[in-house]
Structure 1
Amino acid sequence: MTTAALTSSTGRRRTRRRSGWRGLLYIAPAMALVIVFFVLPVLFTVWMSLHKWPLLGQPAWIGFGNYVRMMSDARFMTALGFTAHYTIIVTIAIFAVAFPLAIFVEKQRPLVSVYRTIIFLPVVVGLASASLLWVWLANVDSGLFTPLMQRLGLTSGRLNLLATFDAAFLTIIAMVVWKIAGFTMIILVTGLQAIPAELTEAARIDGARRWQRFRYLTLPLMRRTMALALILSVTGSILAFDQFYIMTSGGPQNRMISVVYYIFNQSFVSFNLGYGAALSIALLAILVAISVVQLWLLKVGDDRP
């Protein structure tokens, strides 16, 4: 190899090295935020979970005692079951509402921007504020839902929508769908708009009907968009807390205690901080596992790079 070639190779290596350091410099602030606000808190939570950690007094090392206790905690298992039940129903309900809305507002039509804005407006309301609003709407004396249901003939008398499990559960589902469906709609609209119009037009010219175009063209091309919307919906549902705490306080009969609500009770009501930390780590592991499984299932049969 000639001297010129060696010099050129050395120069390229130095350029790549400088580019690498420059790239690390650019991402350093983001890395610092992730380390300070995620990695370090998670590591400290793991450390807490290995102790009996009272609010007052010195922590005591118990190893995996909190995790062993978790396996035989019937109330935690009940909270897990309720959270899974809620997650499945609310995710299906959100997609059942958001997908038709996305198809409706994706096409250019008069006032489509107004429709998108109206549908998206509940998203900007905080979940706690939305829960308080729906508590007032469902109030048996001063709310609007009971008179409306009487006018529609759905009930003959006053009905307290938050007094029984079934009614309260459906009310919370309706509130969450009203609050979240607009956000999921925007994600799905983005996926719909990314589908090349030439493909849809070619399928239509070839004689594919609307359902066939949706089944064999739209859905396959939206796999990754739907994966994002599904992961966000499932993760948010598993982490549900505000609506149960504000609207029902875990009732009726403590049947609406989600996993996060149970962690809150153990940590800040019973002051079992070490056990609450162990429950939090277990919930984090469940979320990671579910996200990995969802991504794997949605990639099955996807031959694209």
Structure 2
Amino acid sequence: MTGSGPQRIRAVRKRRKSQWRGFFYIAPAMALVIVFFVMPVLFTGWMSLHNWPLMGAARWIGFANYTRMWNDSRFMAALNFTAYYTVIVTIAIFAIAFPLAIFVERERRFVSTYRTIIFLPVVVGLATASLLWVWLANVDSGFFGPALRALGLVERSPNIMASFDTAFATIIVMVVWKIAGFTMIILLTGLQAIPSELTEAARIDGAGRWQRFRHLTLPLMRKTIALALIVSVTGSILAFDQFYIMTSGGPQNKMISVVYYIFNQSFVSFNLGYGSALSIVLLAILVAISIVQLWLLRVGEER
């Protein structure tokens, strides 16, 4: 009994020392997050409450920038286009990445080479990839026009980027080519984490490939799919480079994404306050979407 007091004190001191050591280890990461994320977000929120021109003094206007956006038809059009693009490109990426992940998950000859080839476009910067595809689609010196003529599909090289449908399809194909390899790696990690004993037991019990995929693979990959989905949706909502470089928002300004519109308001129209308000709203949308996706994941696990 007499020794229990000093022992308890030593245990408390040891625990506190361990806690301070842990805080010391995470302090650099916390500092980076505070300096490069928290403080910019807070400053952006402060700017959004002002009429903040690029040149001149800022003027406090409260929530006027936030009320303005509800009557901004161009912002609503950009929001609708971004939502449409996000749905289409996310479906396209998963439709390509999932079969590729299944293909390279099995041990076969040259499987490492296949993985490398599929992943190579990921290391190319998005701006560089956009410039590459601008050249490929060029009506005079590109690749697509001569290829279509050689196949006898057209008599002369078409201007692919001149119409919304063909330009949008070209951007979708470029993004899938660029991103599918990264999503494939995420899904491949989930596939390799599934115990082979479970798959073999299901096969012995007579479950076919589709049954194993539906009742075994998909449920066990729920978290991996959620991660890949969040990354894909977030990246699609923040799309900017491909629209700025490949179409400049055209044709007829029909390909202006939300980030592109924020860029125009902030650095073309020099209305930094309104651009900041749009940025805060976009951040809130991203957080809400991520929360909903994680909630759906948790509900699925409870079932």
TM-score by length of 2: 0.99
Matches within 5 A, 1:5-154: 5-154=4-153
Matches within 5 A, 1:213-224: 213-224=212-223
| 1:4–1:157 CA distance, 2 compared to 1 (3 A) | same
Which has the higher mean CA deviation after the structures are superposed, 154-163 or 3-12?
154-163
CA shift digits 1:179-205 (9 cap, x unpaired):
000000000000000000000000000
Residues in 1 aligned to 2:154 and 2:212: alpha-carbon distance in whole angstroms: 42
Structure 1 residue 6: Cα displacement: 1.3
Which amino acid in 2 is paired with 1:260? V
Matches within 5 A, 1:213-292: 213-292=212-291
Count of residues paired in the alignment: 303
CA shift digits 1:271-294 (9 cap, x unpaired):
000000000000000000001111
Which amino acid in 2 is paired with 1:150? R
Residues in 2 aligned to 1:55 and 1:177: alpha-carbon distance in whole angstroms: 37
CA shift digits 1:60-96 (9 cap, x unpaired):
0000000010111110000000000000000000000
Which amino acid in 2 is paired with 1:98? A
Structure 1 residue 268: Cα displacement: 0.1
CA shift digits 1:231-282 (9 cap, x unpaired):
0000000000000000000000000000000000000000000000000000
Structure 1 residue 156: Cα displacement: 3.5
CA shift digits 1:130-173 (9 cap, x unpaired):
00000000011111111212233433332111000000000000
Provide the identity percentage.
Answer: 77
Question: Is 1:193 matched up with 2:192?
Answer: yes
8 Å Cα contact 2:148/2:157 also seen in 1 = no
Which amino acid in 1 is paired with 2:143? L
SS at match of 2:161: coil
SS at match of 2:65: helix
Structure 1 residue 5: Cα displacement: 1.1
Residues in 2 aligned to 1:301 and 1:8: alpha-carbon distance in whole angstroms: 46
CA shift digits 1:84-121 (9 cap, x unpaired):
00000000000000000000001100000000000000
| 1:48–1:195 CA distance, 2 compared to 1 (3 A) | same
SS at match of 2:160: coil
Which amino acid in 2 is paired with 1:92? I
Which amino acid in 1 is paired with 2:182? F
Which amino acid in 2 is paired with 1:136? W
8 Å Cα contact 2:105/2:188 also seen in 1 = yes
Unaligned runs of 5+ in 2: none
Residues in 1 aligned to 2:236 and 2:259: alpha-carbon distance in whole angstroms: 10
What residue number does 1:159 align with? 158
Unaligned runs of 5+ in 1: none
Structure 1 residue 8: Cα displacement: 1.3
Residues in 1 aligned to 2:110 and 2:225: alpha-carbon distance in whole angstroms: 26
What residue number does 1:206 align with? 205
Which amino acid in 1 is paired with 2:153? L
Aligned structure 1 segments of 4 or more residues deviating by more than 4 angstroms? none
8 Å Cα contact 2:183/2:228 also seen in 1 = yes
Residues in 2 aligned to 1:114 and 1:240: alpha-carbon distance in whole angstroms: 30
SS at match of 1:186: helix
Which has the higher mean CA deviation after the structures are superposed, 56-65 or 295-304?
295-304
CA shift digits 1:15-55 (9 cap, x unpaired):
11001000000000000000000000000000000000011
